[in-house]
Amino acid sequence: MSDNDDMVMVTHFNARITADGPWPAEPGRYRLVVNKACPWASRSLIVRRLMGLEDAISVGVTDPIQDERSWRFTLDPDGRDPVLGIRYLAEAYEAVRPGYDGGVSVPAIVDIASGRLVTNDHNTITIDLATQWSKYARPDAPDLYPQALRPEIDQVIEDLAEDVNLGVYKAGFATTQKAYDEAYQRLFDRLDELENRLSTQRYLVGDSITEADIRFFVTLVRFDVVYHGHFKCNRNKLTEMPVLWAYARDLFQTPGFGDTVDFDHIKEHYYRVHTDVNPSGIVAGGPDLSGWHSPHGRD
């Protein structure tokens, strides 16, 4: 596993963009940089879409394949982000800290005028988009982090982070049988618990979509595509867990979720970048993805 992989989520820049802080929420001021393969970056795309912030904060999408300088804008004409004018996201990091040679992660929010990275703190980016940009959100935007439910949401996402979001990586990149076995067991114990929880309620916390559902979805949508085989998380597929499979389809078919997913980018990144796990770089042909559009019955 390289230091530039999306598994490495060490936060070096954690400023907050708030309604009235030193980095104020202002339409047109910032550029959100993502990679559609990365689950942490996908969270920010979903929140931006659900909140209706497309006109307030623009998005730059990097190539799913990294090189020695990490995330690059080779999908854009001339290999440059059309707004920031840079070839590599690392340039925004270096604009803040000259000579910076640490990890480069997404999501990242860049101040357009200065070209400086503001934050790459994936844990707070989505919370702030959901709570600090409300002035610019669509009138019927959901409350993704309701005040009364925050303690419960925080506990759920803490459990998800350790056992599920990171759990698949702990299993996939394990270098000892013991480490793999522990991660594998914790992952499926937690999935079984959540399968049971969601058998009696539509969403993880409360009766509407919250930050917790978004954080769970980004792992579920990658599960059969890459985690089941590539990361050896293969006790069963998502499609073999009836409640979680219906729950995942319910979210996928909700505007803001499935329309921000790029299965091709996901497969290209995981199978081609993780050469220690898949030395051949061969990208798997399956699985069949048509089931994501089948009726879910959760409503």
- Which positions are catalytic? 38, 169
User: What is the C-alpha separation between 275 and 179, in angstroms, rounded?
Assistant: 20
176's CB contacts (< 8 A; 6+ apart) are none
User: What is the C-alpha separation between 297 and 23, in angstroms, rounded?
Assistant: 43
Paired residues of 72 in beta bridges = 88
User: What is the C-alpha separation between 165 and 218, in angstroms, rounded?
Assistant: 8
CA dihedral 284, 34, 261, 239 (to 10 degrees): 60
CB 59 within 8 A of CB 175: no
Question: Using N-to-C axis directions, what is the helix angle for 211-222 and 150-160, rounded to 10°?
Answer: 20
15-19 contacts, C-beta under 8 A, 24 or more apart: 15/118, 15/119, 16/119, 16/124, 16/128, 16/132, 17/109, 17/118, 17/119, 17/128, 17/132, 18/128, 18/132, 19/132, 19/133, 19/134, 19/135
Closest CA to 13 of 121, 174, 111: 121
